[in-house]
Structure 1
Amino acid sequence: MNKSQMTIAALVAVVVVAMQSVYIVDERETALKLWFGEVTEEVSDPGLYFKVPLLHEIVKYDDRILPLDTRVLEVTPKDGRRLRVDAFARWRISDAKQFRRSVGVSSIAGAAPRLERILNAELRGVLGKVDSGVVLSADRVGLMNQIRDQARIQSQGLGIEIVDVRIKSADLPQQNLEATFERMRAERQRLAADEIARGNEAAQRLRAFADRTVVETTSEASKNANIIRGEADARRNAILADALGRDPEFFSFLRSLEAYEKSLLGGNTSLVLSPDSEFFDYLKSDKGRP
């Protein structure tokens, strides 16, 4: 190897060493400088930094808010109705050194399962203290904040801050939904039967009242009619008695007319009388009976 080649090789080695001696921290990252696995420095400000090649190890962590979508979890609220809860969390690394000591080389991939266990435990704990109606209602912000606060306390040892927790959906399991629909259907049928029974009862009361009113009205009308008829008969009898007292012949004539009217009713009436019968005496002469 000649001198020029040795120079080029030396320059390449210097460049490689120089490149191995610097590292860049992005504004979205936090870097840890490790000396044989031990953290010696935490770098959170963006910029260009130096290290000892081959001896210093640089580990970078995302400093942004990260998502955590949990698996659907079955919880049992206070009233015993099981619910399928789908929740998610937003978190960030608040202490990179503590995070490194807690999760080791597994980094974010290793922290997610541990964080999910904390979140699931708090979901069960908080939702288990309230009725299912509160969980299913739209106004459950207080529950989510309570879950967030308690999960934040439990995750402090991991060097993690829980930024937010949200419940995406809370539903009854399929078998519970079918049972709930059956109970709702039975309840509606019971209410309908009660309404029909109350309607029939009201109809019977109205019908009985109407029948009683008819009977009372008819009885009252019959009583009034009998009274009027009795008064009319009394007046008629009084008139007839007065007429008889004044003119007996007129009374006999009137009674004969009534007898004619009664005997000649109908369209096919026949009378068989002897020629000398006294029945038509008042029709034979305008002077009356001889």
Structure 2
Amino acid sequence: MRKTAYLLPVFVILLVVFLSSIFVVDERQKALVLQFGQIKAVKEDPGLAFKVPLIQEVVFYDDRILSLDTDEIEVTPADDRRLVVDAFARYRIADVVKFRQAVGVGGIRVAEDRLSGILNSMIREVLGADQVTSDRILSEDRRELTNRIRDRARVQALSLGLDVVDVRLKQTNLPTSSLEVTFARMRAEREREAADEIARGNEAAQRVRALADRTVVETLSVANKDANVIRGEADAERNRVFAEAYGADQEFFAFYRSLQAYEKALNGSNTSLVITPDSQFFDYFNGETAAPAE
């Protein structure tokens, strides 16, 4: 009974010591075993692992791909058109030993501050190069430029034990002080283009109107010519008919022409004629008729 009283605490202590020597490495993590601040082991494979209890400690680091947003910075491309850009990066801890040696107990917070400084420096270096203009930054070459930023940042980030997986530019804007000037220039360019379009439209309209006016004059000229020809032919035909009628029946022809004369002379309600009653004009009113032609 007395032995059991002594063995139970010893067993409990041994159990606690054994359990404290065991730790689990998750598949999303890497672990460092430290002894008085010195690295004694690196655990990168998931599963159970052991350490010396009370003497050694375990520090876990995320093995997943992490994100980092950089602050906005101003860059000046080759065309001196200043831009405000900000980026985000995807990175992971590639070497936990280098990472621990580089950042110490500061961990991810210190590492991201340093990585942000590296990214900003590479952004200024790449986007401010001699051959890089603002138009190129805003064009399809943007992807090539971000790849160049990623590759240069990766070289420097390796000293921190980090691997830069990707870099992208989130926004590329003009500084606030330059927006009004840029908008004014854009408005002036649009107004100039509009004035050019209006001038070209007016010129085309004048050509169309001139062509239409010429077509009208030509059409009227041809129509008047045709009308005069038809009118002349009609007069000739009328004269021919009159001539034939006169030759066929002179008395009827004289009667017909008298009726035409009466119609023209007595047109209206206030016509007055001052002639003698025995005038030849009233032969058919007097009931007299010309002798038939022999």
TM over 0.5: yes
| Partner AA of 1:156 in structure 2 | L
- Contact kept in structure 2, 1:144 and 1:166, CA below 8 Å: yes
The equivalent residue for 2:113 is: 113
Distance 2:230 2:112 in 1: 104
How many residue pairs match? The answer is: 270
What's the C-alpha RMSD, in Å, of the aligned pairs? Answer: 4.1
* 8 A contact 2:62–2:93 mirrored in 1: yes
Please report how far the alpha carbon of residue 187 of structure 1 lies from its aligned counterpart in structure 2 after TM superposition: 4.0
Say if 1:229 and 1:89 are closer, same or farther in 2 by CA, change over 3 A.
closer
Matched, 1:216 2:218: yes
Q: 1:25 to 1:182 in 2, by over 3 A?
A: farther
> Which among 258, 270, 274 is matched to residue 276 of structure 2?
274
Q: TM-score, structure 2 length as denominator?
A: 0.69
Deviations 1:201-232 (A, max 9, x none): 34333333333233222222221222222223
Q: Distance in 2 between matches of 1:67 and 1:247?
A: 120
Cα–Cα, structure 1 residues 111 and 59, in superposed 2: closer, same or farther, change >3 Å? farther
SS in 1 for 2:208: helix
State the shift of 1:248 in Å: 6.4
Corresponding residue number in structure 1 for 2:63: 64
In structure 2, do the counterparts of structure 1 residues 134 and 195 end up closer, same or farther at CA, with 3 Å as the change threshold? Answer: same
Question: Which is further off, 235-244 or 219-228?
Answer: 235-244
Question: Gaps (5+ residues) in structure 1?
Answer: 1-10
Q: CA deviation at 1:270?
A: 1.2
In 2: Cα distance, 1:287 partner to 1:136 partner: 108
Asked if the contact 1:281/1:289 (under 8 Å) is kept, the reply is: no
Q: Pick closer, same or farther for the CA change 1:199–1:40 going to 2, 3 Å.
A: closer
Give the SS at the match of 1:276: coil
Q: Indicate conservation of the 8 Å contact 2:61/2:96, yes or no.
A: no
Identity %: 54
Partners of 1:247 and 1:93 lie apart in 2 by: 130
Contact kept, 8 Å, 1:42 with 1:96, in 2: the verdict is no
- Structure 2 equivalent of residue 164 of structure 1: 166
- Decide which moves more: 159-168 or 94-103: 94-103
* 1:93 aligns to 2:93 (yes or no): yes
Cα separation, partners in 2 of 1:278 and 1:132, compared to 1, 3 Å: same
Give matches, 1:235-274, under 5 Å: 235-240=237-242, 253-274=255-276
| Counterpart mapping for 1:148-187 below 5 A | 148-187=150-189
Q: After TM superposition, give the deviation of residue 135 of structure 1 in Å.
A: 4.2
SS at match of 1:283: coil
* Structure 1 residue 76 corresponds to structure 2 residue 83: no
Q: Which amino acid aligns with 2:167?
A: V
For residue 83 of structure 1, what is the amino acid of its counterpart? L
* Shift, 1:247, TM fit: 6.8
CA displacement at 1:151 relative to structure 2: 1.1
Q: Deviation of residue 71 (structure 1)?
A: 0.9
Question: How far 1:51 moved relative to its partner?
Answer: 7.6
Per the alignment, in what secondary structure is the counterpart of residue 120 of structure 2? helix
| Rounded Cα–Cα distance in structure 2 between residues aligned with 1:59 and 1:47 | 10
SS in 2 for 1:50: coil
C-alpha displacement of 1:249: 6.1
- Provide Cα deviations, 1:64-108, integer angstroms capped at 9, x if missing partner: 344433211222345544332222223333334433444456554
SS of 2:285's equivalent in the other structure is helix
**Residues 24 and 80 of structure 1: CA distance in aligned 2, closer, same or farther (over 3 Å):** farther
Question: Judging changes above 3 Å, is the alpha-carbon distance between structure 1 residues 121 and 185 closer, same or farther for their aligned structure 2 residues?
Answer: same
Bigger mean CA deviation after superposition, 90-99 or 117-126: 90-99
Distance in 2 (alpha carbons) for counterparts of 1:88 and 1:24? 38
CA deviations on 1:39-68 (whole Å, 9 max, x unpaired) are 463432563322895xx8x68362434443
Q: Distance in 2 between matches of 1:149 and 1:135?
A: 17
Amino acid aligned to 1:123:
I
Name stretches of at least 5 consecutive residues in structure 2 with no aligned partner.
1-8
Separation in structure 2 between the aligned mates of residue 132 and residue 218 of structure 1, nearest angstrom: 62
Residues 147 and 164 from structure 1, CA distance in 2 versus in 1: closer, same or farther, beyond 3 angstroms?
A: same
Q: Per-residue deviation at 1:156?
A: 1.6
Native 8 Å contact 2:33 2:51 kept in 1: no
SS where residue 289 of structure 2 aligns?
coil
Contact between 2:76 and 2:127, CA under 8 Å: does it hold in 1?
yes
